[in-house]
Amino acid sequence: MPLQRPKGTQDHLPEGSPKLGLDVRASAFAHVEDTARRVLERAGASFINTPLFEEAEVYKRGVGGSTDIVRKEMFTVYYFGTHGGYVLRPEGTAGIVRAYLQNGLKQLPAPLKLWTHGPMFRAENVHKGRERQFHQVDYEVLGSSDPLVDAEAIWLMWEVVRALGLTGGRIKLGSIGDPADREGYNAYLREVFTPHLDRLSDDSRDRLERNPMRILDSKSGGDQALIRELEVRPMLDFLGDEARAHFGAVQNYLTAWGVPFDVDPSIVRGLDYYRRTAWELHHEGVGAKSALGGGGRYDGLAAQLGGPEVPAVGWAFGIERLLLALEAEGVALPRAGGPLLFLAAMDEERVGLAAQVALEARAVTRVEFAYRAMKPGSAFREADRRGAALAAVIGSEEAARGVLNVKTLATGVQREVALAELSAFLELERA
Ligand code: HAM
């Protein structure tokens, strides 16, 4: 058997490949990225690219040492047999904030809106919608603490998935307060859970020391049963006045703009950098346990990475999960089209000429040519197989008169087009 790709990764394949689900169609990823670009750049976002690997410290400090991501899921990069201290990026935000600080982007007009898309890496247990290399569309706004910016960010996440044709899905919105609110909540959680240490999973016992709020996010059934039994109060009950006012303002904007959301008092995100607003987008097509997307405010992250305080908010969604949701709703994304024209020579001596005509016609549109001589019948069949709209053949007689014999495949109509007029003809056909 030939070598296989690593578990939890996918090949993104061209049109026409066998077994081509939406979630492995290269053109589907391109369509999502193009749509996100259109929506986000109209909102004033600029594209940013950061490295696929960073110093581990960026995520230890950024995402947080008590998260599953940092404790269990980071791929370490080794080179020349030495541990380089680098890891593959498990998410985009910490790297973008690192780049913002390092490159002095604070000098650009605020709020600065950035977006990116690309692969992320987490060594998770693999199942449907949970990959080890997955792809995100990510949007970040730096330099404003205004709740209007949070609301606009949520609106834009909603708008990108709507522009792709998704009709279902719900936003679960919460707030995890300011650091002082969280301290109060963590103290409460320690009080509630400490008498039941023996019933907590090993992971959660550890969380009780490092970051008790993470217990609420536990994947252990026993932990979840205990949380229900103890009727643990939600973080929302512990919000201070400022965080509460901020949360109220975000909700007011969203309600006024008609973005549907449910307040979820128990929302806990899987990353430690959040403050105040936090949300997730859920969809039945992805399954109840996993979110299609998530985001929140992270005013403390820049300082965690050694910079000044920079108020910021952002989100990311997983492209694979979005494609699962679109597939579940039966949304058909546009396929990559074929060439407008497929051109073949009818004899070996004319193969170079046919190629030259095609090479020049590419100034106008997508044109493919045959690398060997073909009879008209096989040329037309080959054009059809490649999804071309037009097929043309040229033999000695056509070459002598300076014309091509062009067939419109959909109607079967054939006509002669002068070589000198081919570009103008293709311009018209393209319109
Ligand atoms: P996150 O919730 O960890 O947030 O991930 C965002 C999305 O990435 C998830 O909702 C999911 O669709 C997708 N995703 C995560 N892990 C996997 C996986 N193993 N397989 C497939 N898809 C996955 C963040 O990453 C934050 N950086 C979002 C953010 C941006 N917050 C502020 N700015």
Please check whether residues 400 and 259 belong to one and the same domain: no
Res. 100 pLDDT band, cuts 50 70 90: very high
Task: State residue 7's pLDDT score.
Answer: 97
Residue type, 94: A
Q: At what angle do helices 351-361 and 422-430 cross, to 10 degrees?
A: 50
Predicted local distance difference test score (pLDDT) of residue 172: 96
Does position 269 have pLDDT exceeding 70, yes or no? yes
316 lines ligand 1 (CB under 6 A): yes
294 Cβ below 6 A of ligand 1: yes
Do 264 and 389 lie in a common domain?
Answer: no
Q: Is there a contact between 199 and 214 (Cβ–Cβ < 8 Å)?
A: no
With a 6 A CB cut-off, is 318 part of the ligand 1 pocket?
Answer: yes
Question: Is residue 332 scored above 90 in pLDDT?
Answer: no
Q: How far is the CA of 343 from the centre of ligand 1 (A)?
A: 46
Does the pLDDT of residue 6 top 90, yes or no? yes
Tell me the two tokens of residue 35.
Answer: 């749509």
Rounded to whole angstroms, the Cα distance separating 388 from 334 reads 16
Do 30 and 115 fall within a single domain? yes
Q: What angle do CA 143, 149, 151 make, to 5 degrees?
A: 155
Domain assignment present for residue 124? The answer is yes
Regarding whether 410 and 387 lie in a shared domain, the answer is yes
Q: Are residues 308 and 357 part of one domain?
A: no
In a domain, 373, yes or no: yes
Residue 21: band (very low, low, confident or very high) from pLDDT cuts 50, 70, 90: confident
Give 308-327 pLDDT, tens digit per residue.
Answer: 999 999 999 999 999 999 99
Q: Which is it for the CA torsion 141, 147, 150, 154, positive or negative? A: negative
130 lines ligand 1 (CB under 6 A): yes
Per-residue confidence (pLDDT) for residue 82, from 0 to 100: 66
Query: What is the end-to-end Cα distance of the chain in Å, rounded?
Result: 48
Q: Strand 112-121 vs strand 46-47: parallel, antiparallel, or unpaired?
A: parallel
For residue 138 and ligand 1, the question of a CB distance below 6 A is answered with yes
* pTM attached to this predicted model: 0.92
Q: What is the mean pLDDT of residues 357-381?
A: 96
Total number of domains in the chain:
2
Atom of ligand 1 nearest to the CA of 271: 3
pLDDT band, residue 81 (cuts 50/70/90): low
Specify whether the CB–CB gap between 281 and 293 falls below 8 A: yes
CB 388 within 8 Å of CB 429? no
pLDDT of res. 22: 85
Average pLDDT over residues 226-250: 95
User: Do 347 and 323 reside in the same domain of the chain?
Assistant: no
Whether residue 292 has its Cβ less than 6 Å from ligand 1: yes
What is the CA(83)–ligand 1 centre distance, in A?
A: 27
300: domain CATH number is 3.30.930.10
Q: Distance, CA 406 to ligand 1 centroid (Å)? A: 50
What would the pLDDT profile of 138-150 be if each residue is shown by its tens digit? 999 999 999 999 9
- The answer on 243 and 142 residing in a single domain is yes
335 within some domain: no
Share of the chain above pLDDT 70, in %: 99
- Decide whether any atom of ligand 1 lies within 6 Å of the 223 Cβ: no
**CATH number, domain containing residue 345:** 3.40.50.800
In a domain, 251, yes or no: yes
Closest atom of ligand 1 to CA, residue 131? 20
* Distance from the alpha carbon of residue 130 to the mean position of ligand 1, in angstroms: 10
Is 187 within the bounds of a domain? no
Question: Atom 10 (ligand 1): residue with closest C-alpha?
Answer: 293
Which of the listed residues 267, 300, 328 is the one where a domain comes to its end? 328
Q: How far is the CA of 338 from the centre of ligand 1 (A)?
A: 34
pLDDT digits (tens, 9 = 90+) for 145-189: 999 999 999 999 999 999 999 999 999 999 999 999 999 999 999
**The 403-408 sheet, strands edge to edge:** 367-369, 341-345, 390-394, 403-408, 414-418
Please give the Cα distance from 413 to 311 (Å, whole number). 63
pLDDT score, position 83: 65
* Ligand 1 atom with minimal separation from the 291 CA: 10
Sign of CA dihedral 217, 124, 66, 279: negative
In a domain, 198, yes or no: no
Mean pLDDT of 219-240: 93
Q: What percent of the chain has pLDDT over 90?
A: 84
Position 201 in a domain:
no
How long, in residues, is the chain? 431
Q: Which amino acid is at 55?
A: E
Range of the domain at 71: 22-177+239-328
Question: Where among 264, 295, 328 does a domain terminate?
Answer: 328
Same domain, 285 and 321: yes
| DSSP helix/strand/coil, 346 | coil
Q: Which of 328, 354, 381 is the last residue of a domain?
A: 328
> For atom 23 of ligand 1, which residue has the closest CA?
318
Q: Quick check: CB of 293 below 6 Å from ligand 1?
A: yes
Mean pLDDT of the chain: 94
Q: ∠ CA 129-166-156 to the nearest 5 degrees?
A: 95
pLDDT for residue 135 is more than 70: yes
SS3 190: helix
The answer for residues whose C-beta is within 8 angstroms of residue 156's C-beta and 6 or more apart is 39, 40, 43, 139
Same domain, 399 and 260: no
Beta strands in 291-389 (DSSP E): 293-297, 312-318, 341-345, 367-369
The pLDDT tens digits for 103-121 are 999 999 999 999 999 999 9
Report yes or no on 14 lying in a domain.
no
pLDDT at 210: 85
DSSP string, 263-326: E-TT---SSTT-EEEEEEEE-GGG-SSS-SEEEEE-TTHHHHTTS----EEEEEEEHHHHHHHH
Mean pLDDT, to the nearest integer, of 353-371?
97
pLDDT at residue number 214: 86
pLDDT at residue 412 is higher than 80: yes
Q: Are residues 398 and 295 in the same domain?
A: no
Cα 317 to averaged position of ligand 1 atoms, centre (Å): 6
- Phi, psi angle pair for 415, to nearest 5°: -155, 165
DSSP for 203-268 reads HHHHHHHH-GGGGGG---HHHHHHHHHTTPPPGGGG--HHHHHHHHHHHHHHHHHT--EEE-TT--
**Whether residue 144 sits in one domain with residue 44:** yes
Torsion sign, CA atoms 374, 380, 384, 387: positive
Is residue 381 located within the same domain as residue 278?
Answer: no
